[in-house]
Chain A
Amino acid sequence: MNGGAGAQYDSIVVGGGHNGLVCAAYLARGGRKVLVLEAAERLGGAAVTREFAPGFRTSACAHLLHLMPAALMQDLALEAHGLRLAARNLPTVALAEDTRHLSFGPGNLAALAERSAGEAVALADWQTLLKRFARALHPLLTQTPPRLGTDAWRDAYALLGLGWRIRRLGRRDMRELLRIGGMCVYDLLEDRFSLPLLKGALALDAVLGTNYGPRSPGTVVSLLYRCAASQGADALAQPEGGLGAVSEALARAARAAGAEIRTGALVERILVREDRVVGVALACGAQITATTVVSSADPKSTFLKLLGTEHLDAGFARRVAQVRSRGLTAKLHLALERLPQFPGLSTEALRARLLVAPSADYIERAYNHAKYDEFSSRPMLEVTIPTLADATLAPPGKHVMSVIVQYAPYALAGGWDSQRPAFTARVIDTLGAYAPQLRDCISASELLAPPDIEREFRISGGHWHHAELALDQFLMVRPVPGAARYRTPLPGLFLCGAGCHPGGGVMGLAGRNAARQLIREAA
C-alpha cells in the first residue's frame, strides 16, 4: 500500500449520493483523478427514484427539487446531461378538512387575498422580507464556514461579508432578523399571521426533516436556512423521472469531467498508514489507494465505522458519537389504481405540493408524541402526486402518491416491525379526511421509516440531513468542531456529505464546498 506519489487516484469519493457526485465532478474539473465508490447498484444515495411496486416508481426520500442553486446546476450543465423538469414553480395547497383549501405560492397570493386581504398583505410582506434575509445569508452557505477567532484573512473576510450584508438590510430589517433569529417559528407566526391554515403551512416548512415542533427553539433558524438555501425563491420543481434523474445527470456530469464511478462497490474501511489516509478497502477485499479520501457518508458512519476511533482522539470521537442524527421523518409511497378525488380541489390543483398541517398547534400536537418515542396519532404530511406531471412513473392511467410523514421516531416504542401497519393505516386515515376514496384506490404501499432509511441508504440514524439541523450543529460546528471545514483531524480524509455545512436537502453545496476546500488546501 502506498498513499503517496504512487497512489492510484488523487481522490476517492466514498458514496455516490448527490453530494458525492457533485464533489467528484468539481474535483475532476479541478484536474484531479477521481474515483467514486457507491455501495448500491444505483447512484444517488437517498436521491434516487425507487420502484416500490411493479411499474410504480417515485423519489425515495425528498420528492421535490428546490434547494439546488441554479449556479451549481448551470456549472455542471445538468440540463445538457439530461435533467428535465416535469413541473416547476409548484404552488402549495394547505388542505383543510372543511374543503376550504388554501392555495398559495411565490407571487401567487390571489386565493389568499380572496379569503383575507390582510393575510395576503402579511404574507407578501413576509415573503419579501424572507427574500431579503435569504440574499444576506445565502453566500454563507456557498463557502467553507468561517472560523471564529483566527487571524486568517479568509475567515475575517467571510465574517465581515456576513456582517456587512446583514447591516445592509437596513436598521429595521436587521433588527427584525436579530429579533427573530432565536425565536421559535410558532411565536413568529403568531406575530405576523392569524389564519391557522396558513400558519400551519408556514410552520411545516420550518420543521420538515427536523426533530422539532413549531414551538421548539431554533425553528426560525431552520426556516431561514431553508429560505437561504433556495435564495428566497423556494421554487418547487419536480424533475422528470423523479429525484433519481438529478443524480443521474450529476453522474454524467462527473463522468464527463473525467471522474470514474463504480457502483456495487461497498467501502468497508478507510485505510490509514502512519497517521495518513492511504486509500480504502472494499467489502470484496480489494484495496484502492488514493492521496485523499472524501467521504459523503454521514459523520458517524465515516468516523466510527469506516475509519475507526483508534485513529481519532477520544474527545473528537465522543463529539461524533454525540451528533444528534436520529431521523424523525418517514416516507410513504402509495400505488394508486386511479386518482382519488380531493373534494374542493380540481385534478389540476393536485399537481401542487399538498400539506396536511391545518394549524401550527396540529403540528405541535403531532410532535408531542415523538418526544416520547411514539408516532404521531395525527401526523403532519407533505404530499405530491408526481404522476400528474410525469406519467413515466406509473403504468398508464395509474398514479403514485408520495408522502413525507412526520413524526416517526427512529427508536419507536414497540419497534417498527410491529408498528409499521398501524402507522401506515394512521397516515392513510389522516389523508382520508381530505380524500375519502383514497383507501379504495391503493393497490400497494411502502413505508420507509427512519430505520429503513438507515438500512437502505446507509445513513446512521436515518436522518435525511445526516445530522440534525440545529444551531449547535450549524456552520463552524457542523457536524462537530474539528471537522467543520470538510477537513478532518486525520490528514487526507475529508467530508462532503449532508452532515457538513450547509447540510442536506438535495442542494449539493456540501459537495461543492468540500471539493473547493480540498483543492484550495492542496494548492
Chain B
Amino acid sequence: MLTESEPHYRQPLLKTPFHERARALSQLDSFVPWAGYTTVDVFTSVEQEYFAIRNASSLYDLTPMVKYRISGADALRFLNRLVTRDIRKVGPGKVAYTVWCNDEGHLIDDGTVFCIAPNEYRICTAERQLDWFRASAIGFEVEIREVTEEVAALAVQGPTSCKLLKAVGLAGVERLKPFEHAGFSMPRSGGAGQITMMVSRTGFTGDLGYELWMQPADAEALWDALTAVGSSRAVRPIGSRALNVARIEAGFVLPNLDFVSAEHTLYLGTERSPLELGLAWLVDFNKGHFTGRRALLAEQARGPRRQLVGLDVEGTKPAHNALLYRDSSARREVGSVTSAIWSPTCKRNLALAIVEAAYIATGSRVWAEIYLNRELVWERRMVRARVVERPFFAPARRRATPPADF
C-alpha cells in the first residue's frame, strides 16, 4: 500500500501478492514497473517462457491490470454509453473485450468488461481511467471504485492450462467457453477449507487459457498449488516479454506500443480511432449513443486515412520501428511498424504496422527499411513486406470446449 507520509518519489513500486514467489523463481532479477507495481520482465529466457505458452502452460501475474467495480442502477447504461460494444449483450457470467473513445472518436484505452451480476460489472483496463470514467458518469447513477489492490490476478495460458486447473481441483473449469467466467473453489493444501476465485476464459496470448481472479491473501497458496502440480508438466512462470511475442502472434494491440491513448497524446494526428486500429468489429453503431459515435460515423463515411495491418516481412530480422515505403527507393513513406517479432510458432517474420489507406488491403505490398546490427556493424536493408490477415496464429484449441485433455 502507498502511504501518505512518504513523498511520492520515495515510495517504492507496489509488490503484487505473487511477488515473493516470482522473485524466488526469477533467475535474472529483471523487474520492470507496470502501472505502479514491479513485475517480472524475464524469469529465465524469453524463448523458454514463450514456448511454455504455446506448448505447455504459463503463469503470468497480471495483478497490475487496473480494475474497477462499476455498480449502481445505471451501471449498464453507463457502460453502454462509455464503450463501443453493446454491453446489453454481455449478461452475467460473460466477458467482452472492448475499447472506449473520446468525443473525437479517438481511442482512450481497451479492456475487458466482466458482468458479475445485473448492474454489477468489473472493467479491467491498461491504464487508470478514473477521471474519464467520472466524466462519463455525469448524469448516471453509478458507483465507480478502483479495486486493483483488492484483486490478485493470474493468467494461466497454454494448451495444457485446462488440464492443469483441473489437476489443482477446479472441477468443471473445462465447461467454460471463451469469454465466460464463473466462480470456482479448490481445496486449500493442508485441508483448511477452500480457496474461492473467479475464473474467466480470457487471455492475451491467443491460445487456450484462463485468468484467475482471487483475494490477495489466497494468491501464494494458489501459486504454490499450480507450481506443485505443474512441476512435471513444464509449467513456467513467464514475464511480459514472452507474453509480448504471443500477443503479437495473436494480433492484439497494446497501448503505448501500437497506439497512444488520446488522453496522453501531445502531437496532433497521433491519436488513433478504433477503425484505424482495425477494431471496427468492436464498434456497434446500432446500440444507441456512445461517446465518439458521431465522430466515428463521420470517419466511417469519409473512409480511413490509415489503418493498423498485419505484415509478413521478408527475411528473419524483426522490423522493429521500421519505416515503410512504397518501393525500394525509399522515397515515398507509406507507414511505420508499431510491433515486430520473429514468430517462433509461425516461423514468419511478423509485424503490426500503421499504413496509409491505399495499402490496407490484404495482399498490399510495401517495403520495410530495417537496420541490421551485424557484430556492431550496422547495415540498412530494404525488404519486401506483404499485408496479411490477422491473427497470425489462431489455433483451434483456443476455442475448443471442452479443451483437449493432455
**B135, B139, B288, B289: which contacts A315 (Cβ < 8 A)?**
B135
Interface membership of A321, Cβ < 8 A: yes
Q: Contact between B140 and A309 (Cβ–Cβ < 8 Å)?
A: yes
Query: Measured between C-beta atoms, what is the minimum distance from B368 to chain A in Å?
Result: 36
**A275, A304, A311, A315: which contacts B103 (Cβ < 8 A)?**
A315
**B81, B103, B292: which contacts A310 (Cβ < 8 A)?**
B81
Q: With A275-B294, A315-B103, A316-B103 in contact, do A310 and B139 touch (Cβ < 8 Å)? A: yes
For A313, A314, A315, which residue has the most chain B Cβ atoms within 10 angstroms? A314
- Please, what's the 1-or-0 string for A289-322, where 1 marks a CB less than 8 Å from any CB in chain B? 0000000000000001000111111111110010
Q: Contact between A304 and B138 (Cβ–Cβ < 8 Å)?
A: yes
Interface membership of B215, Cβ < 8 A: no
Q: Contact between A314 and B289 (Cβ–Cβ < 8 Å)?
A: no
Query: Measured between C-beta atoms, what is the minimum distance from A212 to chain B in Å?
Result: 27
- Please indicate the chain A residues that have their CB under 8 angstroms from the CB of B293 in the complex: 275, 313
Whole-angstrom distance between the alpha carbons of A314 and B291 in the complex? 6
Q: With A275-B294, A313-B292, A314-B132 in contact, do A308 and B139 touch (Cβ < 8 Å)? A: yes
- Please indicate the chain B residues that have their CB under 8 angstroms from the CB of A315 in the complex: 102-103, 135, 291
- Please indicate the chain A residues that have their CB under 8 angstroms from the CB of B139 in the complex: 304, 308-310, 317
Query: Measured between C-beta atoms, what is the minimum distance from A16 to chain B in Å?
Result: 26
Closest to B82 in A: A314
- Please, what's the 1-or-0 string for B280-301, where 1 marks a CB less than 8 Å from any CB in chain A? 0000000011011111000000
Query: Measured between C-beta atoms, what is the minimum distance from B253 to chain A in Å?
Result: 22
- Please indicate the chain B residues that have their CB under 8 angstroms from the CB of A318 in the complex: 135, 138
Query: Measured between C-beta atoms, what is the minimum distance from A425 to chain B in Å?
Result: 39
Whole-angstrom distance between the alpha carbons of A313 and B138 in the complex? 11
Q: Quick one: which of B276-329 are within 8 Å of A by CB?
A: 288-289, 291-295
- Please, what's the 1-or-0 string for B116-150, where 1 marks a CB less than 8 Å from any CB in chain A? 00000000000000001001101110000000000
- Please, what's the 1-or-0 string for B98-121, where 1 marks a CB less than 8 Å from any CB in chain A? 000011000000000000000000
Interface membership of A181, Cβ < 8 A: no
Query: Measured between C-beta atoms, what is the minimum distance from B142 to chain A in Å?
Result: 11
Query: Measured between C-beta atoms, what is the minimum distance from B119 to chain A in Å?
Result: 15
Whole-angstrom distance between the alpha carbons of A316 and B135 in the complex? 9
Q: Contact between A314 and B294 (Cβ–Cβ < 8 Å)?
A: no
Interface membership of A489, Cβ < 8 A: yes
Q: Contact between B103 and A313 (Cβ–Cβ < 8 Å)?
A: yes
Closest to A311 in B: B289
Query: Measured between C-beta atoms, what is the minimum distance from B19 to chain A in Å?
Result: 36
Q: Contact between A313 and B77 (Cβ–Cβ < 8 Å)?
A: no
Q: Contact between A314 and B77 (Cβ–Cβ < 8 Å)?
A: no
Whole-angstrom distance between the alpha carbons of A482 and B102 in the complex? 14
Q: Contact between A313 and B294 (Cβ–Cβ < 8 Å)?
A: yes
Whole-angstrom distance between the alpha carbons of A313 and B136 in the complex? 8
For A304, A308, A315, A482, which residue has the most chain B Cβ atoms within 10 angstroms? A315
Query: Measured between C-beta atoms, what is the minimum distance from A255 to chain B in Å?
Result: 36
Q: Contact between A314 and B103 (Cβ–Cβ < 8 Å)?
A: yes
Whole-angstrom distance between the alpha carbons of A146 and B214 in the complex? 56
Whole-angstrom distance between the alpha carbons of A508 and B82 in the complex? 38
- Please indicate the chain B residues that have their CB under 8 angstroms from the CB of A317 in the complex: 135-136, 138-139
Closest to B294 in A: A489
- Please indicate the chain A residues that have their CB under 8 angstroms from the CB of B294 in the complex: 275, 313, 489
Whole-angstrom distance between the alpha carbons of A321 and B77 in the complex? 19
- Please indicate the chain B residues that have their CB under 8 angstroms from the CB of A314 in the complex: 81-82, 102-103, 132, 135-136, 138, 291
- Please indicate the chain A residues that have their CB under 8 angstroms from the CB of B103 in the complex: 313-316, 482
Whole-angstrom distance between the alpha carbons of A192 and B259 in the complex? 56
- Please indicate the chain A residues that have their CB under 8 angstroms from the CB of B295 in the complex: 313
- Please indicate the chain B residues that have their CB under 8 angstroms from the CB of A313 in the complex: 102-103, 291-295
Q: With A314-B81, A315-B103 in contact, do A309 and B138 touch (Cβ < 8 Å)? A: yes
Query: Measured between C-beta atoms, what is the minimum distance from A276 to chain B in Å?
Result: 11
For B81, B132, B135, B293, which residue has the most chain A Cβ atoms within 10 angstroms? B135
Q: Quick one: which of A308-355 are within 8 Å of B by CB?
A: 308-318, 321
Q: Contact between B135 and A275 (Cβ–Cβ < 8 Å)?
A: no
Whole-angstrom distance between the alpha carbons of A312 and B138 in the complex? 10
Closest to A489 in B: B294
Query: Measured between C-beta atoms, what is the minimum distance from B283 to chain A in Å?
Result: 14
Whole-angstrom distance between the alpha carbons of A311 and B288 in the complex? 8
Whole-angstrom distance between the alpha carbons of A457 and B199 in the complex? 55
For B81, B139, B293, B295, which residue has the most chain A Cβ atoms within 10 angstroms? B139
- Please indicate the chain A residues that have their CB under 8 angstroms from the CB of B132 in the complex: 314
- Please indicate the chain A residues that have their CB under 8 angstroms from the CB of B289 in the complex: 275, 310-312
Query: Measured between C-beta atoms, what is the minimum distance from A319 to chain B in Å?
Result: 9
Query: Measured between C-beta atoms, what is the minimum distance from B259 to chain A in Å?
Result: 18
Whole-angstrom distance between the alpha carbons of A6 and B255 in the complex? 48
- Please indicate the chain A residues that have their CB under 8 angstroms from the CB of B136 in the complex: 314, 317
- Please indicate the chain B residues that have their CB under 8 angstroms from the CB of A312 in the complex: 289
- Please indicate the chain B residues that have their CB under 8 angstroms from the CB of A482 in the complex: 103
Whole-angstrom distance between the alpha carbons of A318 and B136 in the complex? 8
Whole-angstrom distance between the alpha carbons of A314 and B294 in the complex? 12
Query: Measured between C-beta atoms, what is the minimum distance from B275 to chain A in Å?
Result: 17
Q: Quick one: which of B235-291 are within 8 Å of A by CB?
A: 288-289, 291
Whole-angstrom distance between the alpha carbons of A94 and B254 in the complex? 67
**A275, A321, A489: which contacts B138 (Cβ < 8 A)?**
A321
- Please indicate the chain B residues that have their CB under 8 angstroms from the CB of A275 in the complex: 289, 293-294
Query: Measured between C-beta atoms, what is the minimum distance from A460 to chain B in Å?
Result: 13
Whole-angstrom distance between the alpha carbons of A314 and B140 in the complex? 11
- Please indicate the chain A residues that have their CB under 8 angstroms from the CB of B77 in the complex: 310
- Please indicate the chain B residues that have their CB under 8 angstroms from the CB of A308 in the complex: 139
Whole-angstrom distance between the alpha carbons of A316 and B136 in the complex? 10
Whole-angstrom distance between the alpha carbons of A321 and B135 in the complex? 9
Whole-angstrom distance between the alpha carbons of A316 and B293 in the complex? 13
Whole-angstrom distance between the alpha carbons of A112 and B289 in the complex? 62
Closest to B132 in A: A314
Closest to A315 in B: B103
- Please, what's the 1-or-0 string for A392-428, where 1 marks a CB less than 8 Å from any CB in chain B? 0000000000000000000000000000000000000
Query: Measured between C-beta atoms, what is the minimum distance from B361 to chain A in Å?
Result: 31
Whole-angstrom distance between the alpha carbons of A258 and B401 in the complex? 69
- Please indicate the chain A residues that have their CB under 8 angstroms from the CB of B288 in the complex: 310
- Please indicate the chain A residues that have their CB under 8 angstroms from the CB of B140 in the complex: 309-310
Closest to A321 in B: B138
Interface pairs (19), CB distance under 8 Å? A275-B289, A275-B293, A275-B294, A309-B138, A310-B81, A310-B139, A310-B140, A310-B288, A312-B289, A313-B103, A313-B293, A314-B103, A314-B135, A314-B136, A315-B102, A315-B103, A317-B136, A482-B103, A489-B294
Q: For the complex of A and B, list the 4 residue pairs with the smallest distance between their C-beta atoms, beginning with the closest.
A: A309-B139, A313-B103, A318-B135, A314-B136
> Knowing that A275-B289, A315-B103 are A-B contacts, what are 6 other residue pairs whose CB atoms are under 8 Å apart, sorted by A's residue number?
A310-B81, A311-B289, A314-B291, A317-B138, A318-B135, A321-B138
